[in-house]
Every structure is written in structure tokens, then in C-alpha cells.
Amino acid sequence: MNNYPALIVVAPLLAALFAGLAAWIEERLSYPIALVGLAVSMFSAFKVLMQVIDSGAIQYRMAGWAPPMGIEYRIDLLNAMVLLLVSGIAFLNLIASYKSVDQEINDRAGSFYTIYLLFVTGLLGVTATGDLFNLYVLIEITSLTSYAMVALGDRDRGPLASLNYVFIGVIGASFYLLGVGYLYMQTGSLNMADVANILSGIHGSSTVLVAFILCMIGIWIKMALFPLHVWLPNAYSYSPVAFARIVAPLMTKVMVYVMIRMMITVFGREYIFETLNLADAVVWLATIAIIAGAAMAISQKNLKKMLTYIIVCEIGYMVGGAWMGNQLGMTGAILHILNDALMTFALFLAVGNMVYKLKTVDLIDLKGLFGKMPWTMTGFVLAAFSIIGVPPTCGFFSKWYLILGAFEAGAYHFAAALVISSLLCAVLFFKIFEISFFEPMSKGHGESHASVAIEEAPVSMLVVSGLVSLSLIIAGLYSGTIVNTIILPFLK
Amino acid sequence: METIISIKPLLAVLVSLFVIPVLVSSSSKPNVRESWIFIAGTIKLVLVLSMLPVILDGKQIVLTLFEIAPGASIAFRVDGLGMLFAIVASSLYIVTSIYSIGYMRGLDEHGQTRFVSFFALAISATIGAAFSANLLTLYLFYEILSLATYPLVAHHQDKTSRISGRRYLTFILGTSIALVLPAMIYCYHVTGTLEFSTAGIFAGQLSKPAATVLLLMFVFGFAKAGIMPFHTWLPAAMVAPTPVSALLHAVAVVKVGVFSIVRVMTGIFGIDLLAHFNLGIVVMCIASVTILTASCIALSQDELKRRLAYSTISQLSYIIFGVALLSPQGLLGGVIHIVMHAFGKITLFFCAGAIYVATGKKYISQMSGLGKKMPFTFAAFFIGALGVIGLPPTGGFYSKWNLILGTLEAQQTIFMLVLLVSSFLNAFYFLPIVYKGFFGKSEEENDNIPVKINEANLCLVIPLVITAIISIVLFFYPTVFINLIKVGLDL
């Protein structure tokens, strides 16, 4: 057995230690260390994904201890995909971050990279682990590091946003922990596969019901499902842009992964859709989340804030799909984890470029931006089309599966919500395009038609943003392949 | 049916896409940039034409690119209908490119590189739509076309174009997301496929109410076809530079809308199913209302381009009307009107643009006596108008003839009246322009200043003469297109 599964998580963890230590000696040393750590992690994640596709799920026992006593990493197609996604985005974002960290928080770059690595370690661990308590610990690692990151951001509003985030985050974690406690009470085990085995005989138990509900509420708080989303917009928009770029696409998506893992692996679809009678209610909740998220996004005056509300809206897509109770909906939800992570990342990369040049990104600051930053805006436009769901970008194809699932389940309200949110997103993004296309930059008249000097972000940021935006089209065109090699075999 | 796998349709779509980076990089050298447009346009036309003999032979050319889900792929299938549309679009693209050099340089427009780049993207999407093998691919190119034409409509970047651009997108993108997308996914949900086939895909899985709702969602959802009440984007889009109005809003964009509806009616529902549920009559009523109302509105417009726009709205519904007759003659007349109207209407738009560049005049009331100054332009306008009205010796006669025969064949004599009344209205709103142009008196003549011939520059005049001549040629030689339709629809 090879050690790639462990390496995915351990490489960034070790890199975090060394980066932190190195920063004491020389601040600049921490960046290359972080780069190496994440590169190793991404490579291992790729290896593991290939291996899982070839020969099925991998069980990796930490330090050789057998479950249920020891901690087990259990990597199947679903989390192999998410692992590669997380490590890939973390690595690419690190490349783009060099310049923006330099500009935004240069005096604390060492601590930034250390916390960044710990955050990524947490996300990867959450994704890889097969142990319920270990999952809690790792969620706390990601949360604690992100509290710190938010506080590193906007000097006036960052700390308060962070405090708010801490309060709600702790509540969410406690719900989850309590749920795990109930599960342990009932089953005496913390290993997911083991728990699932024991649970399959006792579906009627009210302890299990309580455990399930507590776990779900905890996870929903962490993933910012409407109306539990209030912490998210401030926390994400006041954090440093280099961190916003990774937390926005990944944090909520990893929590969606956790929800799906709990639903499929731990409690089982049979329990959720046949024993419990909650699915309809949750799909309705998701429907409301979609509409509310899109509506709140449309009323924002700041681009970053607007995008954070779009995240709230997209969470509704995935929750609704997962709870649809059929294969198509679940396929859509899982595909959307990938697609939404990519498109949110692309959007925030573009916003990062804008922030680098413009400092603030209130909508009125974006005047004339097509002339000034054509490449950034091209990336932004592609990502926006993906959110709206224009083919052949990937956003269209996950929407395709979600709407199909909704039709099959007869949840026409959910399908309608998806269509309405596409329309609202179209309005919202074209509002931005109009500002940046029609309005001249300076106050003088007649200058709109003169050619504007191009002032782009640094090449490192542009390249990453361009690549990720292109990947939206590639992911879209190959969504058939992704569904057939990863998602459908997993759901079997 | 025999099929041939070939990469040609893909190349035909991609060639104008690949030329965009070249256009952008040669933006400082307009002549180099323009020659690339012609090179790409010619390659595209040659590629399209090289597939013609095979298609006329009754074969089809297919190419599957990406399998998204079973029965839903991104794929090309070149058949008679697609071929017909692709020939029209790619040949007129070259003519329009000549025209657009004259127009854009004549007016010294800004952002010419952006203009030609998005134009190339739009034509790529049009050919893609023509060659689509299934509804998913068609939808994909339909949406790309909507988005690619937005910067063209809003080209002037002023307040009017901002408002018009907004209306353009609201109607075009809004209807396609709100109506076509759910309808398409529902079709897939019911049948598990979206491939076009002349027998339709439903095979008895659809009740009459469901079929009616779906059909209406498609007919109104493809708002590029300008069916009322989703037509107002077209007059609004007239703020765009005239080459855009000419190629996109008389040929490419609007006909992609019509083409999509034709595809859905003939390839998704199938003529038999529509006849079985008696749905043709529903669509015919909708189309008739649009034909008559738009013609009446056209009468009241004084701005020439707006009058042409309303005329287009009315003419587009002829095509849908013809297909909705569900009879062989009706189908033939409807689909061939895609070709005939394209050549007629583009001539008219070219004339409107030439008049604007040469004299700065936009309103019909200012144009009396102008024919003496611009004889070629007005002669071409006359021919274009004959084509749209449907009189010999222009190709338009052929489509109207078949449409009228179609109403008789389908025993819908009342609807024949719609066609006749509309033809009168067409004559009323076009012929006075020509008459006043040649026989009216301009202000200068009133002041007894002698009139000299003063045409717009050659880049503007040559294209409109070419399209006018083709309009006449089509009256004598429509055979190729007729055969394409017969092959495409199994008539």
C-alpha cells in the first residue's frame, strides 16, 4: 500500500509547520515552502483519484491502527474528486496570492501562509476522513483558521465580522458534535462505515433521529444554508482577498460534501428518503434559499458582497439536488460541487484582480473596466455565464441534471426556482457588464470612445484567472465523462 | 438514411472563431484585419459548399463531439434544412463584410476590431445552429448567438444603445431561459432523447394539453423569431450599426429563431404529431396575428430601419405560418422564404445604410427625390421590396406562391386572406418610398439646384447590387434550395 492518501493531508500540514518556523527567520521563505507543500498534496490527490477510478475505494489506516479504534481514511470516488478539487484550487490560488498578499498584508505574509496551509489541511482532512469525531476536529481546524483569516482582513470591519463568524461557527460545530454524541451513544462507534452498519438495523430509533437532525443543523450552519447564512457575507467579504478566493469556493462546498457523505454513507439513502419524511420540506427550504439568495444578491452595491450572496443561492441548488431523492438530483448536486467551486473560484479570481488595481469594488468603481482590464473582464464574463447557466459552461450542465431530477421527483417548484435564479443572475451580472461597458471612467465627456490605457493585474494572477475560466468550458464539455466515470459509479 | 462522419461541419463553425485572435492582434492594421475576415469567410463558404453535393444526394454528415448524457450530446448533423440556412448565412456574411468596411469606415466608427470580432463569433454560432443535430446543441448555439450580438447591438455605447441592449437581452435571453430551457429539459425527461428526427421524438408519450403547452413554450421561447408579443427587441436593436441590422437582424439572428422553431416543429414534435393533435392551426393563428399587426405597425413608421424591422417581424411569421400549415407545399413555401426573404431584406437594409452614410438621412419623409441622386441604391431597393412583397421577377414570388398553394392544399382558405391582405400592406409600406424617391422632389430641386448622381462609396453599393441581382436570379433558379428542402423534410 502506498502512502498517497496520507500525503494529501500531511504534506500541507508539515508545510504549515515549516512555513511558520521559517517566517521567524525570513518572512520570504514561507512562500516557496507553502508552494511545495500544496504541489505535493495536489499530485498525491491526482494519483489517488486515478487509483480509485482504476481499482475502487482505498482504505488507509492512520499509523496502522485498525478501525473502529484507529482513525481510518476512506477514499472513494466522491472524496477523491473533492480532494483533487480542494488541493488544486488551493495550489492555483497560492500562485495568484503571491502578489496580492504582498500588497495587502505584506508585513504578516508568513503568518498568512501558515494559516492558509492549516486551513487547507483542515479542508483536505474533512474530505478524506472516515471517522465522525475526526471530522469534527478537522472542521474545527478549518473554522479556527478562517476566523483568524477574517480578522487579518479589513482592519475596521474584519474583527467584528470574525467575531460574528466565531459565535455562529461554534454553535454549528456544537450541534454537529452533539449529534455525533448521540450517534456514539446509540452505536458505540465513530467509524463511518461501522456506524452505518449498526444503524441499518435500527432505523426506527428516536436517538438516531435526534442525532441525524443535530448533525444536519450543524452542517447547514457551516454551509450557510438560508436562513442560517447570516455569518457568511460579512466574513467572506471582509477577509483578505487571497483568502476570500479560497474560502468562498471551497468551504461551503466541502460542507456540502460532508452532508452528502452523512446522507449516503452514514445514515443511508434508505433511511433518509423512506423512513424520514423530511425530504419535501428540505427541498422547499432549498427552493426558498435559492430565490432569497439571488434576490439578496441583486440588491447589493458591492461586488464582493454580491458574490457572497450568490454562494448562498448556489448552496440551495446543491441541498435541493441532494434531497431530491433520486439519482439525477444527487448527480446534479455532486456535479455542482465541482462546477460551483470552479465558477466561484473564477469569479473571485477576477474580483481579486480588480481589487489589486482598484482597491475597492463597489459597483460604481467598475466603470470602464472592459477597456481597462480586458483580460480580467473576459474571465469574469465567462464565470458569470457559468453562474447564469449558459452552455457550454459547466454551470449549465449541473443545472440540467438538477432540473431533470426535479422533474422526475415532481418538484416543479424547485425547477422553477432554478430558472428564476438564472434569470435573476442574468439581470445582476448584466447590470455589472453595463456599468463596466457603457460608463466612461473619468468624468469628462466624450472620452468613452477614446481608447483607454490597459492597466491589468500582474501576469501570475491573470494566468490563473484565465486558466480557471477556461476550465469552466472544459469541465462543461466533459461533464458527460465526469458523470460517467466518477459520479454514477459512486452512486451505484 | 446514409450518414457520413466528417469533421467539416466543425471546421465550418470554428473557422471564424479561430480568426478572432488574429483579428484582435492586427487591430492596428485595418486592411490586414479586413483581409483576414475575407479569408475566413471564404474558407467557411467553401467548406459549407463542399458538403452540398453529398447532402443533395440524400446523405447526411454527422459528427458527435461530446456526449453529455445518453441521448443528449453536443453533435452536428448536416441535413437539407441546415445546409440551406448555412449557405444563406455564410454567403451573405461575405457580402456583408464588404459592406461593413464601407459603412464602418465611411462613418469612422469606434471599436471596429471589437465589432468585427463579435461579428465573426456571431456567424460561427449561426452556422453551429444550422448544423445542430439535436435540441441541446441548437440551444447552446442559440445562447451564444444572443450573447455575441449584444456588444454589436450596444456598439455605440451611449444611452439609447444601453436601453436597447437591455431590452434586446431581456427578451432574447429571458425567454430562452424561462421558456425554452424548461421545455427542452422536460422533453428529455419524457423521452430520454433530444435528437431531431422527422418522425418526432415523442411516440405517443404526450397528451394533447402537454403538447400544446410545450409547443407554445418553444414558439414564444425562441423569441428571436419575433413572434408577438416578444418582438419589441427587434425594432430596439435597430440602434446597431446597419451591417448588424442587415446580416444579423434580417438574416442570421432572426432566422436562427425561426429555424429553431421549424426544427422543433418538424424534428421534435414531428409533422404527424402536430397534425394528429391539430396544433398547426394554433401556431397559424399566432403567426397570422403577428403578420397582420406587424405590417400595420410598419405602415406607421417613419424611420426607415424601424419600418424594415417591423416588416421583418411580419415576414418571419410567414415562415412559421408556412410550416404550421403542415402540408408539403406550405412547408416548402415557408422554408424557402428563409432564403428569399434573406436576400430581399438584406438588400433593403443595405440601401437604408447606404442612404444614411451618403446623406445622413434616416427618415422616410426626408427621402423624396433621393432616387435621382442614388439611382442604383433605389433600384436595388425596388427589387428588394418586390422580393419581400412577393412579386415576380424576384425569388419572393416563389415562396408566396407556394404558401398560397399550401393554404389551399391544407384547406385553410381563410388563412389565404391573411397572406393576401399582408401582401397589400407590404406594397403599401414599400412602394411609396420608391415612388417618392424617383418621382418626388427634394428640397434642392424645389430650390432649382440641378441634381447630380451622388452614390455612397463602392463598398456600400456593390453589395446591395449583388444581393438585388441574386434576388432576381433566385426567381429563375430556385432549384438547389427546393431540392435541399425536399431532402431535408422528406417531402
The verdict on residue A120 lying in a domain is no
Q: Which residue of A has its CA nearest to B161?
A: A438
Give CA–CA dist B61/B50, Å, rounded: 12
Among B67, B166, B188, select the one facing A480 at the smallest CB separation: B67
DSSP helix/strand/coil, B66? strand
Residue with the three cell numbers 402536430: B274
| pLDDT above 50 for A446 | no
Give the tens place of pLDDT for each residue, A298-332: 988 888 899 999 999 999 999 999 999 899 999 99
End-to-end Cα, chain B, rounded Å = 15
Q: Do A400 and B68 touch (CB under 8 A)?
A: yes
End-to-end Cα, chain A, rounded Å = 26
Q: Cβ distance A409 to A325 under 8 Å?
A: yes
The mean pLDDT value for A464-486 works out to: 91
Residues of chain A above pLDDT 90, percent: 46
Give CA–CA dist B24/A72, Å, rounded: 55
H helix or E strand, kind and range, residue B63: strand B60-69
The verdict on residue A368 lying in a domain is yes
Instruction: Tell me A49's DSSP state.
Output: H
DSSP helix/strand/coil, A322? helix
The mean pLDDT value for A471-479 works out to: 92
Q: Is B110 on the interface with A (CB under 8 A)?
A: yes
Q: Residue A24: pLDDT band by 50, 70, 90 thresholds?
A: confident
Among B65, B151, B189, select the one facing A407 at the smallest CB separation: B189
Give the tens place of pLDDT for each residue, B415-449: 888 888 998 898 888 888 888 888 877 777 677 77
Give CA–CA dist A140/A122, Å, rounded: 8
Q: Residue A1: pLDDT band by 50, 70, 90 thresholds?
A: low
Taking the CA of residue A479 and the nearest CA in chain B, the distance in Å comes to 6
User: What phi and psi values does residue A67 have, to the nearest 5 degrees?
Assistant: -70, 155
Residue with the three cell numbers 413608421: B301
Determine the pLDDT at residue A441. Answer: 59
Among A426, A430, A477, select the one facing B177 at the smallest CB separation: A426
The set of cell numbers assigned to A121 is 489541511
Determine the pLDDT at residue A452. Answer: 64
Q: How far is CA B187 from each of CA B162, B180, B268, rounded to the nearest angstrom?
A: 36, 10, 9
The mean pLDDT value for A345-364 works out to: 88
Range of the domain at A282: 278-492
Residues 30-69 of B with CB under 8 A from A: 65-69
Chain A positions touching B143 (Cβ under 8 A) are: 390-391
Strand order in the sheet with B60-69: B3-5, B60-69, B72-78
Give the tens place of pLDDT for each residue, B381-406: 999 999 888 888 888 888 898 999 88
Chain A positions touching B65 (Cβ under 8 A) are: 477
Q: Cβ distance B148 to B54 under 8 Å?
A: no
Q: Do B185 and A404 touch (CB under 8 A)?
A: yes
Residue with the three cell numbers 457588464: A433
Q: Which residues contact B57 (CB under 8 A, 6 or more apart)?
A: none
Residues 398-437 of A with CB under 8 A from B: 400-401, 403-404, 407-408, 415, 419, 422-423, 426, 430, 434, 437
The mean pLDDT value for A221-241 works out to: 86
Q: Is B188 on the interface with A (CB under 8 A)?
A: yes
Give the tens place of pLDDT for each residue, A406-436: 999 989 999 999 999 999 999 999 989 888 8
Instruction: Tell me A272's DSSP state.
Output: I
pLDDT, averaged per 10 consecutive residues of chain B (491 residues), comes to 87 89 84 87 92 88 88 89 92 88 80 86 93 93 92 85 88 92 92 87 85 92 89 87 84 91 91 88 91 91 89 92 90 91 91 86 84 86 90 88 88 87 89 85 72 77 89 89 86 76
Residues of chain A above pLDDT 70, percent: 97
Taking the CA of residue B197 and the nearest CA in chain A, the distance in Å comes to 22
Determine the pLDDT at residue A443. Answer: 45
Give the tens place of pLDDT for each residue, A370-409: 888 888 899 999 999 999 999 889 999 999 999 999 999 9
Give CA–CA dist A177/A132, Å, rounded: 9
Among A390, A423, A483, select the one facing B174 at the smallest CB separation: A423
Residues 210-249 of B with CB under 8 A from A: none
Determine the pLDDT at residue A439. Answer: 73
Determine the pLDDT at residue A106. Answer: 67
Q: Is B182 on the interface with A (CB under 8 A)?
A: yes
Q: Do A407 and B151 touch (CB under 8 A)?
A: no
Q: Which of B306, B256, B272, B247 is nearest to B119 (CA)?
A: B247
Determine the pLDDT at residue A399. Answer: 92
Residues 158-177 of B with CB under 8 A from A: 158, 161-162, 165-166, 169, 173-174, 177
How many domains is chain A built from? Answer: 1
Q: Which of A211, A213, A330, A203 is nearest to A261 (CA)?
A: A330
Q: Cβ distance A88 to A42 under 8 Å?
A: yes
Q: Which of A225, A193, A195, A222 is nearest to A208 (CA)?
A: A195
Q: Residue A138: pLDDT band by 50, 70, 90 thresholds?
A: very high
Q: Residue A197: pLDDT band by 50, 70, 90 thresholds?
A: confident
Determine the pLDDT at residue B143. Answer: 93
Chain B positions touching A400 (Cβ under 8 A) are: 68-69, 72, 185
| pLDDT above 70 for A211 | yes
Task: Count Cβ–Cβ pairs < 8 Å, chain A vs chain B.
Answer: 74
* CA B128-B129-B135 angle, 5° bins: 120
Give CA–CA dist B394/B345, Å, rounded: 12
Q: Cβ distance A260 to A334 under 8 Å?
A: yes
Q: Do B68 and A480 touch (CB under 8 A)?
A: yes
Phi-psi region of B372 (alpha: psi -120 to 50; beta: other; left: phi over 0): alpha
Q: How far is CA A464 from each of CA A92, A100, A332, A386, rounded to the nearest angstrom?
A: 7, 13, 27, 17
Interstrand relation of B60-69 and B3-5 (parallel, antiparallel or unpaired) = parallel
| pLDDT above 90 for A81 | yes
Give the tens place of pLDDT for each residue, B233-246: 888 888 888 888 88
What secondary structure does DSSP assign to B144-197, as a single string?
Answer: HHHHHHHHHHTTT-SHHHHHHHHHHHHHHHHHIIIIIHHHHHHHHHHHS--B--
Give CA–CA dist B265/B198, Å, rounded: 9
Task: Count H helices and E strands in chain A, helices first.
Answer: 21, 2
Give the tens place of pLDDT for each residue, A242-274: 888 999 899 999 999 999 999 998 988 888 888
Q: Which residue of B has its CA nearest to A400?
A: B185
Determine the pLDDT at residue A240. Answer: 85
B274-281 CB contacts, 8 Å cutoff, 24+ apart: B274/B215, B274/B324, B274/B326, B275/B326, B277/B208, B277/B211, B277/B212, B279/B211, B279/B212, B279/B215, B280/B324, B280/B325, B280/B326, B280/B410, B281/B324, B281/B412
- Tell me the ipTM for this assembly: 0.89
The mean pLDDT value for A161-165 works out to: 86
Residue with the three cell numbers 448521540: A182
Q: Residue A151: pLDDT band by 50, 70, 90 thresholds?
A: confident
The verdict on residue A6 lying in a domain is no
Among B139, B144, B189, select the one facing A404 at the smallest CB separation: B189
Q: Helix B280-299 crosses helix B304-324 at what angle (to 10 degrees)?
A: 160
